[in-house]
Amino acid sequence: MVPVLDPQTPPGRVLDEKYWLQFSDNPNPSTREKMMFVTVDDVARIGPNSFNAVTMCTEVGVSDGLLNFHFGSRNELLAETLVWVYTRFVNDVAQAVEAAKPEAEARLRAWITAVHQGFITMGGWGVLVNYPVASREVAYLTEKQHGDEVVDQAEINLALLQHLVADVKKKRVTEFTLELGKIPKTYFIKNPSLTSLTVSIALSASGLAVWHGGRSQGQAKREGSPLDRMVTKSHIDRIIKSI
């Protein structure tokens, strides 16, 4: 039996101002940005392997020649858009922490929950984030062309987590003052025990995120059962109690 797959262009999608405002505060982005934003949407729903760049261009209403003009190739488009997706993910996690109650455990719970929710939203992009071997050319282009940017984003996210873990251990709430791209090289080695604990918590949170991530929107709705929510909450509780 041939499986019924979701189409790349979902029925009823309208590329109007409301649609574009999902991705930025500009209701009329440039053509290049529109190509990236539709790619964000398409890959999240159907995954990178099923993504057809020509179909995306048709949806945006541009010639597929503009793909090479703006990005160079399909895989270069995916590499650059992956960095955009990951950057938004890291920013969303930081904003969730900032919006949490000014309590150490609440802030850490906000980080873990935001990572979990972020991978659900990321959908098919999670394949490229967690399993780069699934598309080695995209992984190569991402590292070659955007490697420093990705490392900076990963480091600021891990540094924030380490800060939150330290606050929970010391039962305090302190301000996180490190800036993107300006984390000292000694930051993660000056306290090996704290860094080891932080990485363990990050891996536990990532396991939860990967378990939920990569599902279609329909699957996410079906599997968001009371049992599913209970297991998720219990897992987060155990992570925090382990500190």
27-63 per-position pLDDT tens digit? 999 999 999 999 999 999 999 999 999 999 999 999 9
Q: Whose structure tokens read 């189409």?
A: 7
**Tally of residues, the chain:** 243
Of 67, 4, 63, nearest in space to 32 by CA = 67
Collect all residues with Cβ–Cβ distance below 8 Å to 61 and sequence separation of at least 6: none
Q: What is the reported pLDDT for 221? A: 54
* 68 contacts 59 by C-beta, under 8 angstroms: no
Q: Where are the alpha helices (DSSP H) in 100-186?
A: 104-122, 125-130, 136-170
Please report which confidence band the pLDDT of residue 214 belongs to, taking 50, 70 and 90 as the band edges. Answer: low
Q: Classify residue 123 as left (phi > 0), alpha (psi -120 to 50) or beta.
A: left
Please report which confidence band the pLDDT of residue 187 belongs to, taking 50, 70 and 90 as the band edges. Answer: very high
| Backbone φ and ψ of 180, nearest 5° | -55, 130
Give percent of the chain above pLDDT 70.
Answer: 92
Q: Classify residue 112 as left (phi > 0), alpha (psi -120 to 50) or beta.
A: alpha
Inter-axis angle of helices 226-241 and 104-122, nearest 10: 130
How many whole angstroms separate alpha carbon 138 and alpha carbon 150?
Answer: 13
Give this prediction's pTM: 0.91
* 67 contacts 38 by C-beta, under 8 angstroms: no
Three-state DSSP class for residue 172: coil
The pLDDT tens digits of the residues spanning 99-120 come to 999 999 999 999 999 999 999 8
* 107 contacts 63 by C-beta, under 8 angstroms: no
Q: What is the reported pLDDT for 140? A: 95
Q: What is the reported pLDDT for 233? A: 87
Collect all residues with Cβ–Cβ distance below 8 Å to 72 and sequence separation of at least 6: none
**C-alpha dihedral (22, 25, 27, 33), degrees to nearest 10:** -80
Please report which confidence band the pLDDT of residue 228 belongs to, taking 50, 70 and 90 as the band edges. Answer: confident
Collect all residues with Cβ–Cβ distance below 8 Å to 74 and sequence separation of at least 6: 51, 53, 67
Please report which confidence band the pLDDT of residue 216 belongs to, taking 50, 70 and 90 as the band edges. Answer: low
How many whole angstroms separate alpha carbon 49 and alpha carbon 135?
Answer: 8
How many whole angstroms separate alpha carbon 26 and alpha carbon 29?
Answer: 6
Q: What is the CA radius of gyration of the chain?
A: 19
Q: Which two tokens stand for residue 127?
A: 């394949």
